[in-house]
Amino acid sequence: MATAQDTLEIGVLVYPGAQLAAVHGLTDLFAVANRLRHELGALERPQLRVCHWSETPDRQLQVTFDTHPGTGHQVRAMIIPPSLTQAPSPELLERYRANLRQWHGDGALLVSVCVGVFFIAASGLLDGRPATTHWNFAQSLAERFPQVQVEANLPLLDDGDIITSAGLMAWTDLGLKLVERYLGETLAAETARFLAVERVSGGQQPGSVFSPRLDHGDEAVLKVQHWLQGSGARDVSLTAMADCAGLEQRTFLRRFRSATGLKPTEYCQQVRVGRACRMLEFTNRSIDQIAWGVGYQDPGAFRKVFFKVTGLAPSDYRRRLATRAG
């Protein structure tokens, strides 16, 4: 029997109207990744445990399918699949609001495909944050949730603790993105090769991609992480972060580094550079404009930090992306 220590739980929210092809396709994709993990001898990596979460008749969420039954549940990522019908109704969205906030507050990565983003938006967790969705629903998302920064031109938007994707069939690439995050680039590439699908993301970025640690269990630090991801780590200070955590500064510094593996300043740099990478890829803004946009008053300082994090100058990063796209 598998234990909680050697498995990593990925939940799939099976709401009324959810696209079952995505639900079962993701389950199969992670099963392939698990088999390749074993065949390639990557046993230091966790097994991916997939659980389908559905409502009971009295509207309580419970697990209705589990690839590793018999142990307790600690959801590390919750996927909200697409629907073949239309954008979810306000009543349906409200039914899952508290659960999504609870999972996110406990350190779970929230992941959506197509209209699945409406569930995250309805929880309030995307207020002031960027998100993508299918082009057909972008206007509706923006109108219903005006505090969400809708970026419908992006096929997949990884914002650290929330990942949104646009296309109805984007669940394949999103599944591979999670395999890359939890099992590594090699297993993600091998899974894609076995399934004969081309990856839209992952393995193509010339610089590093920041995947923050969210499963450390320190609620005070996690609260600060969510705040930094939501604000883009702009205009923050050690005092403000310690106040957010409700801790004395020295205690906060120690616990933050222990939980995340980074100093608060390093973490903020990672968040800002991640957003800069997205701007370099999907906008025509100048390097200076991007520097200001992610919170650096001195573009020269931004260039130094960007090189430190990615190993590339911003102009080289953009040039390599253009070369790969061509």
Q: Does a structural domain hold residue 208?
A: no
Q: Give the pLDDT score at 210.
A: 79
Q: Give the pLDDT score at 204.
A: 45
Are 119 and 229 part of one and the same domain? no
Q: Give the pLDDT score at 235.
A: 85
CATH of the domain at 223: 1.10.10.60
**Do residues 61 and 99 lie in contact, with contact meaning Cβ atoms separated by under 8 Å?**
yes
Token pair belonging to 210: 């920041």
Q: Give the pLDDT score at 264.
A: 95
Are 140 and 273 part of one and the same domain? no
Residues of the chain with pLDDT under 70: 1-5, 200-209, 324-326
68 contact partners, CB below 8 Å, separation of at least 6: 2, 7, 47, 49
CATH of the domain at 32: 3.40.50.880
Chain-centre distance for alpha carbon 124 = 16
* Residue among 164, 254, 265, 267 nearest 214 (CA): 267
Q: Give the pLDDT score at 303.
A: 95
Question: Domain span at residue 127?
Answer: 7-195
Are 149 and 226 part of one and the same domain? no
Are 171 and 233 part of one and the same domain? no
Are 132 and 247 part of one and the same domain? no
Q: Round to whole Å and give the CA distance between 78 and 40.
A: 27
Does residue 50 sit in helix, strand or coil? strand
Q: Give the pLDDT score at 211.
A: 83
What is residue 46's DSSP assignment? P
Token pair belonging to 197: 């699908």
Are 103 and 241 part of one and the same domain? no
Q: Give the pLDDT score at 145.
A: 97
Q: Give the pLDDT score at 205.
A: 53
Are 285 and 165 part of one and the same domain? no
Are 12 and 89 part of one and the same domain? yes
Are 33 and 155 part of one and the same domain? yes
Q: Round to whole Å and give the CA distance between 148 and 126.
A: 6
Q: Give the pLDDT score at 325.
A: 58
